[in-house]
Amino acid sequence: MLIKLTVQNLAVIEYTQLELSRALNVVTGETGAGKSLLVDALEFLLGGPADRSLIRANADAASVEATFQVRLPSASLSAALITAGVDFDDEGVLVLFRETHRVGRSVSRLNGKAVPVSVVRGVGAALVDIHGQGTHLSLLDPMFQLVMLDSHANEKTLRFAVEQAVVAVNTLETELTMLLAGSRAAAQQQDLLGFQVKEISDAGLEPGEESALIAERDELGNARMIQEACATAYEALHGDSANADDLIAQAVQALRRSLDPSGKLAGYVNALEESAARLSESARDMRSYAEGVSGDPSRLEEVEDRIEVVRRLKRKYGATEEAVLAFAEEAQQKLEAYDTSDERLAGLTSQIAKAREWAGMQAWGLSKARHEAGKRLSASSAEHLIEVGMPQVRFACDITQREDERGLPCPDGTRYAFDSTGIDRVEFLVETNLGEGLKPLARVASGGETGRLMLALISALRTKVGVPTLVFDEIDSGIGARASEVVGRKLWALGSAAQVICVTHLPQVAAYADRHFRVQKAVEDERTFAGALALDKIGRVNELAEMLGGDRNEDIDGAAQRMLEAAEAVKVARQRIRA
């Protein structure tokens, strides 16, 4: 609820402060006294335009501050506060402050913290509905209208069932989407692994192959030099002229002709003979190797190509031949382990079909309940509209669905678009003048007449409107005494569900106030001052007498007293019925 409203330097208001009741607060005063300035102040505070022309003369700035006490914040209010990074204090107090300057930008604060005006609008929309020119009017929002209709239908269980059924459908379809995406990715991965395994397998790679190929390439490229070196070495070791073999044989003969008392020469002979045998073997091997070395250009090209193949595989799959082969083995194992999940896909598709069918049945049942509630609301609204002096106004609750091939299957054989609220789109329609036809409530909402229309609808809904503070500006415009008494009674009854602030010029409405404020204007030192004064019982009688009009006399005062007593009697009787 709004506990306190403080206004400074706004037009003729230099300073005024209102401490409000939890129920019905009424603001009265002479025409032009500044009653609606309080509503203008609230609209500005809650994010409305900063009209610098309303700053009081000789003042640099105008400001409005409102103190709210919120026991159970709504989801929308909690979300707005989280966005602003603002917490309640221990008593649930929330202070909104806004100031506009002649020079510079306006300033907004929430519990002392500077916040953008967009945050103020979000918080304000969750705290106050102003029924006058349509500002902060939740009931004009089709989504809010749907919530109100469901509350009127009293189908919380069915609505919850629909929400749960839709959650189940969305969860399963999300899982299917992920599975299909995973299957596509798996197929792509399988193709890649298959290609990699085949590429390595077709190459016939062997461990250590690159080193052997490099050696062969070097041999092929240097064949002539190798052959000449081997021929020269063979000739030196085993040629026709003096060679190593002959020289060793001469050395052996010389050693054998000598005496050998110690036996050492025999050892040298053996060593030389062994060397001669090794030299002969090496000479034969060199000749054989030289004869086998070929400088075949075609073979050299084959070796070069093969080296490039091996190196390409190493660049892609591993630093060594062994690493490449290990990669191929691992890829083959992954390939064999892949599960295309066809069975899971079929099972999930079947689950989704069943979940959609169940959700469609639940949504269809809720839709039927809404249609019945809409009929009841239309009939009830007609009665309340007559009571508030609007017999010419016609109200209807329009409930529609949109066909969608991806929608929920319903018992009528049609698929309808859906969300967590079901398959329905709800919009409140009104016809304010005979023959104009029904139009959306948001398109005809303006002026004090709309306040009475809203009051009738809220009374017909018989439920909290979702916003803790309701403001009705000039709701009694153009109605007679009998209808105005009904309006006053309805406003007071509404005060049991929400805090109500009503600006009125009718005593029949003012008589039902739980707290009554009079806005009065005075001139001092050639300056006009206006402010709001909370009235006691005597002050209320005097104010009602003034509002009844004519010259003050005992009859007028008595009528005002009786009007106040009659309203109090109605309130006491209603309270006993509630108890």
Residue 254 has pLDDT above 50, yes or no: yes
First to last CA, the chain: 23
Of 73 and 430, the one with more pLDDT: 430
Quick check: is 409 in a domain? no
Q: Which residues pair with 534 in a beta bridge?
A: 517
Q: Provide the pLDDT for residue 510.
A: 92
Which range is least confidently modeled, 48-52, 441-445, 472-476? Answer: 441-445
Rounded to the nearest angstrom, the gap between the alpha carbon of residue 107 and the centroid of all alpha carbons in its chain is 28
Q: Which residues contact 218 (CB under 8 A, 6 or more apart)?
A: none
Q: Lowest-confidence range among 141-155, 203-217, 237-251, 310-324?
A: 237-251
Q: What is the pLDDT of residue 268?
A: 78
**pLDDT confidence bin for 511, thresholds 50/70/90:** very high
Angle CA(228)–CA(233)–CA(239) in degrees, nearest 5? 105
Give the burial class of 85: count Cβ atoms within 10 A of its Cβ; 0-12 exposed, 13-18 middle, 19 or more buried. exposed
3-state SS, residue 6: strand
> Per-residue pLDDT for 334 more than 70?
yes
CA Rg value for the chain:
49
> Which residue from 119, 50, 133 is spatially nearest to 473, judged by alpha carbons?
133
Three-state DSSP state, 9: strand
Cα 519 from chain centroid? 45
56 is a domain residue: no
Q: Using N-to-C axis directions, what is the helix angle for 342-387 and 447-461, rounded to 10°?
A: 120
Evaluate whether residue 220 is within a structural domain.
yes
Query: Domain tally for the chain?
Result: 1
pLDDT band at 77 (very low <50, low <70, confident <90, very high): confident
Give 189-233 pLDDT, tens digit per residue: 778 888 888 888 888 888 888 888 887 777 766 666 776 676 777
- Does the structure show a pLDDT above 50 at 134? no
In a domain, 393, yes or no: no
Grade residue 453 by pLDDT with cuts at 50, 70 and 90: confident
Averaged pLDDT of the chain: 83
Which range, 238-242, 318-322, 521-525, has the best average confidence (pLDDT)? 318-322
Asked if the structure places residue 213 within a domain, the reply is yes
CA 398 to CA 483: how far, in whole Å?
Answer: 28
310-332: pLDDT as tens digits: 888 889 888 898 998 999 998 88
- Mean pLDDT value across residues 382-403: 88
**Residue 416 forms part of a structural domain:** no
Asked which of 18-27, 185-194, 356-365 is least confident by mean pLDDT, the reply is 185-194
Least confident of 30-44, 217-231, 313-327, 342-356: 217-231
Quick one: which H or E segment has residue 202? helix 156-203
| Distance separating alpha carbons of residues 184 and 176, to the nearest angstrom | 12
Percent of the chain with pLDDT over 70: 88
Q: What is the pLDDT of residues 462-488, one digit of tens each?
A: 655 567 888 888 776 666 667 788 888
Q: How far is CA 576 from CA 43, 53, 512, 567, 568, in A?
A: 37, 49, 16, 14, 12
Q: Say which DSSP state 54 is in.
A: G
Please check whether residue 350 is in contact with residue 342, taking contact to mean a CB–CB distance below 8 angstroms. Answer: no
Residue with tokens 């050492």: 264
pLDDT digits (tens, 9 = 90+) for 269-295: 788 778 878 877 777 777 777 766 776
Q: Which domain holds residue 239?
A: 209-319
Strand, helix or coil at 100? strand
Q: pLDDT over 90 for what percent of the chain? A: 26
Structure tokens at 393: 């106004």
Q: What is the pLDDT of residue 92?
A: 84
| Ranges 51-55, 138-142, 446-450: which has the least confidence | 446-450
In this structure, is residue 251 part of a structural domain?
Answer: yes
Least confident of 121-130, 304-313, 410-419, 449-458: 449-458
* Strand, coil or helix: 99: strand
Cβ(65)–Cβ(96) under 8 Å?
yes
Residue 85 lies in a domain: no
- CA 23 to CA 177: how far, in whole Å? 52
29: pLDDT strictly greater than 80: yes
